[in-house]
Amino acid sequence: MTKPRIIITDCDHENIDIETNVFRNESFTFEHLDCKTEDDVIANCQGASVFLNQYAPITEKVMANLPDLKLVVRYGVGVNNVDLEAADKYGVQVCNVPDYGTNEVADHALALMLALTRKIPHMNQLVRSGDWDYQKSIPIYRHSEQTVGVIGLGRIGTSFAQKVQALGCRIIVCDSKYKNNQSRKLPDGMELVELDELLEQSDVVSIHCPLESAYNLLDVDQLKRMKNTAYLVNVSRGGIVNESALDTALEEGWIAGAAVDVAEKEPLSADSPLFKHDHFLCTPHMAWYSEQAALELKRKVAEEAVRFLKGEPVHYPINEIHNLIKE
């Protein structure tokens, strides 16, 4: 019987030592490629049973041309480069790793929030230019008298909200899982509200929801609802906030500032009009990263593939597909 074939379609990590170590004693073949397009994947991955995948598009065309494919495991939380509808159609199980960088992303959101609310980057620039004057930071508000709105209360949103609670902030939440399930209990000290109410009441809005259900969630009408003293933080996915609307909001003073770790198209172009705003901060999709999280991600992706190939239940299924690998 032909051994199952695992392929890393693409991976921009320094090495694949962790994955190699996980696969070392298993009875299947393993290959690392650098696919960029649908055609790259189709041409180079014939016969593959399992993909470990980072950015390469796994589309209906890919699945239709790779009949042996049974599993795609993504390096990360989001699966927006995988056609989930096609995966259901072709019987391909899709998995992610939702819990490898929970604290890192929550910490990064908190760091961006504090950088905005305490105006640290702006004041650092002034001091470096010889301007030693705290009054240039006015106004700054006490955190214990602020309301923080959290859009999406999954693992990361919950971790962020609990960290912010330690500052004494009031926490309000918008999440359909709680709205549509009355028996689901919110964490202590958090209030469930509608999106419009959250935007209108919050001094900081932090986004922690998946792109698949929230594309362009914050557009012109939503950003206009925010206080002109409020800040927006997005460490989730770029397409959730309309970048043109955000530029207008910053230009016209609808909000006081914004900080993002993601963009709709990455990398965010150096020519983006967002960079003309002093009260706009951007980091290069690094919120997930710590040395420990990076290693955990690689190990968990590889271990999920091994479970599937051994006929064991996967830990992080995105869709409901029965394991089709047979001994």
Catalytic residue among 145, 194, 266, 312: 266
Reading the block at residue 78, the tokens are 């989001």
Instruction: In whole angstroms, give the CA distance from residue 87 to residue 74.
Output: 13
What is the DSSP code (8-state) at residue 206?
E
DSSP string computed for 46-102: TT-SEEEESSS-B-HHHHHH-TT--EEEESSS--TTB-HHHHHHHT-EEE--TTSSH
Is there a catalytic annotation at residue 5?
no
Q: Give the chain's length.
A: 327
Exposure string over 307-322, b if 16+ CB within 10 A, otherwise e: bbbeeeebebbbbebe
Catalytic residue among 108, 237, 243, 304: 237
Are the C-beta atoms of 308 and 293 separated by less than 8 Å?
A: no
Is there a catalytic annotation at residue 266?
yes
Are the C-beta atoms of 107 and 286 separated by less than 8 Å?
A: no
Catalytic residue among 285, 303, 304, 307: 285
Instruction: In whole angstroms, give the CA distance from residue 192 to residue 182.
Output: 11
Is there a catalytic annotation at residue 237?
yes
Q: Give catalytic residue positions.
A: 237, 266, 285
